[in-house]
Amino acid sequence: MKNQPQQQQKKEAKTVELKKIMPETTQKEIDTLNPTLKAASEQIIAQTLERLKKINPNRPKEMEYFDEMANLFGKRVEELKQAQAEGKKIIGYNCIFAPLELILAADAIPVRINSGWYDTSKLGDRVVPVEVCSIIRSTIGAKMVELSPFLELSDVLITVLTCDGMTKLSEILGEYKQVWGLSNPRIKDSEQALKFWNEEIKQIKTNLEKLTGNKITVKNLKPAILKTQKATKAFRRLQNLRKDDTVISGQDALLVTQTYMWDDIDRWTEKTNVLCDELDRRVQAKEWICPSDTPRVMITGTPMFWPDNWKLPSLIEEGNPRGILVADELCSSERLLYDPVGIDEWTMNDMLNAIGERYLMACTCPCFTSKDGNEDRINWLLTKIKDHKIQGVIYYVTRGCMLYAMEYTTVKRALDKINIPVYYLDTDYTREDTGQLKTRVEAFLEMLNAQIDI
C-alpha cells in the first residue's frame, strides 16, 4: 500500500495526447468504410439470427431478448450513449481479468471490446503482419474505421497483458484511447504472484476512483459483488440444463453468454433467469432439442466473438451429421461467468482480496503455467467432460494464437488417457474456409457417431 502513490505517478506520467485516427487510414476512408461495414454486419447479424430460428422452429421464446441484445449497433449502444451523457464512465476491457465488480462499484459500465468482425481483420493487416492473431488484427481494424460502438464509447480501456498479442494491442490502442495496462503473473501458485496481482487490482481501483470521482467503499462494492454473484448463479442454472438431454441449442446458449459482455448485468441476470424458467418447463415436457444419440460436443480454445466468428458452432449444429454443443471452455463464454467472487467477510480488504483471487486463481487461460503445466485448465476440462457427458472435443485455434496452439499437445494427451476424441481445428477470420472446415467437422461427428453406435 505504501508505494502506491509512487506507482500512480508512474502510470499518470504515461498519459500522452491521444491521436484520433490511425495513420494507415484517412478520414475519407473511414467515412466510406464505416457505414458499409456496419450495414454488412447488421445484415450478417440478422441472417444468423434468422438461421437460428429456422433450424429450430421451437426455439425458446425468451431468446427474443438476447436476439435484440445481439445487435451490436442497437438498443444497448443507445443506452450507453445516454448513460455517458449523464456523466457515467464506460470502461472497455479486452480480457476477463478486468475486475468488473470494481468498475460497477465506481458506478461505471464495463463492456468488452474484442472484435469478432472478419472484414476488419483485413484492415488490421495494414498495421501488423498477417501472422498476428486474427482477434488482435480485427480489433485494430475495428479501431481504424471506428466500427465498434463499444470500443469507441469507452472512456478508458483496461488492457490485460495475457499474451503477446494483447500486450502489443494495448500499445497500439493506447495511442487512441487511455489504457490501463493490467499485468498478470504467469505462475499462480506463489505468494508473490498473488501479492503482485492484488496490487494491480488496487491500482485499477485507484484509477477508477480518480476517473469517475466515485470512491469505492464497502457500501458500493458489496452490491457490485452481489450483482455478479447473481449473474453467475443464473449462468450456472443455464449450464445445469445442458448437463443431460438438453432443451437449448449450443448456439443459443453461446449467444446468451456473449451478450453478458456488453449488456446491463442486472437485466441480463433477470432475462437469463426468465429463459431458464422457460427451459425448465421444457425439461418437464421433455421437449428435447435433438435426439438423445446426437454426439455431445464441447469447444475449447481461442475465444470466439460475435457476430462473424460463429462458423464453428454453426458447423457443429447445422451440418450433416449434426452434433449438439453442450459446453465450452472459452473465455468469451463459460469461463467468463462460472466463478463467483467468494467472500468470507464483507470488509474492504477481504473483498479486494477475494476479487483478486477470483480473477487470478480461478482462471484457466493458457497464459499460465506451473510445474505441472497449466494443470487447472486440464482439470477443468476433465470435470466439464464428466459433468456434461461430452463425447468429443473440438480444440479451436485461430492462426497466430500461440498459447492455445501450443497447449493443444498437453490437452490432447490428457484427453487421450480418458479416451475422449479431440480434434484440432485451426482457422482464421475468414468465411472462405467454411467448406474445408465443414468437411473436417463432419468427419469428426461421423467418427463420434460410429463410436456411439458401438
Partner 1 sequence: MTTSTIGFDIGTQTIKVIILNNKTRQVVARTQAFAGFDPAQALKTAVEQALKTANLTQTDITTFATTGSNLETYPYPVITVSTMSALTKAGTHFFPQAHTIIEVGAEEARAVKCDDRGLMVDFVVNERCAAGAGAFIEAMARALEVKMEDMGPLSLEAERASSINAACVIFGESDVVSLIHKQEPKSEIARAVYDAMADRVSAMVHRLGVNPQVVLVGGVAKDVGFIASLKRKLGVEVFIPEFSEYAGALGAALIGLTKSGGNKN
Q: Which residue ranges make up the site for partner 1 (CB under 8 A)? A: 320, 421, 423-424, 426, 433, 435-436, 438-440, 442-444, 446-447, 450-451, 454
**In angstroms, rounded to a whole number, what is the distance separating the alpha carbons of residues 89 and 154?**
8
Q: How far is the CB of 409 from partner 1 (least distance, A)?
A: 9
Length of the chain: 454
352 Cβ contact list (under 8 Å, min separation 6): 198, 201, 202, 205
Supply 42's cell numbers. 447488421
Of residues 365 and 441, the one with the C-beta less far from partner 1: 441
Going across the sheet that includes 296-301, the strands are 324-329, 296-301, 392-398, 422-427
Of residues 103 and 414, the one with the C-beta less far from partner 1: 414
**Amino acid identity at 140:** I
Number of separate helices (H) and strands (E) present in the chain: 19, 8
The maximal CA–CA distance of the chain, rounded, in angstroms, is: 66
Q: How far is the CB of 317 from partner 1 (least distance, A)?
A: 17
Q: How far is the CB of 429 from partner 1 (least distance, A)?
A: 14
**Residue 321: is the preceding peptide bond cis (ω within 30°)?**
yes
- Closest by CA to 45, choosing from 81, 73, 79, is 73
Of residues 167 and 410, the one with the C-beta less far from partner 1: 410
Write the DSSP symbol of residue 297: E
Q: How far is the CB of 157 from partner 1 (least distance, A)?
A: 33
Q: How far is the CB of 442 from partner 1 (least distance, A)?
A: 5
Q: 438 exposed, middle or buried (CB, 10 Å; 0-12, 13-18, 19+)?
A: middle
**Residue 185: is the preceding peptide bond cis (ω within 30°)?**
no
Q: How far is the CB of 137 from partner 1 (least distance, A)?
A: 17
**In angstroms, rounded to a whole number, what is the distance separating the alpha carbons of residues 329 and 366?**
11
User: What HEC string does 125-136 produce?
Assistant: CCCCCCCCCHHH
280 Cβ contact list (under 8 Å, min separation 6): 241
**In angstroms, rounded to a whole number, what is the distance separating the alpha carbons of residues 348 and 335?**
26
Of residues 57 and 129, the one with the C-beta less far from partner 1: 129
**In angstroms, rounded to a whole number, what is the distance separating the alpha carbons of residues 327 and 335?**
11
Of residues 280 and 433, the one with the C-beta less far from partner 1: 433
Q: How far is the CB of 451 from partner 1 (least distance, A)?
A: 7
Q: How far is the CB of 375 from partner 1 (least distance, A)?
A: 23
3-class DSSP state of 342: coil
Of residues 64 and 446, the one with the C-beta less far from partner 1: 446
Residue with C-alpha cell 455431445? Answer: 296
**In angstroms, rounded to a whole number, what is the distance separating the alpha carbons of residues 195 and 176?**
31
Of residues 131 and 191, the one with the C-beta less far from partner 1: 131
Of residues 383 and 436, the one with the C-beta less far from partner 1: 436
Of residues 198 and 434, the one with the C-beta less far from partner 1: 434
Q: How far is the CB of 134 from partner 1 (least distance, A)?
A: 13
Q: How far is the CB of 424 from partner 1 (least distance, A)?
A: 8
Of residues 368 and 444, the one with the C-beta less far from partner 1: 444
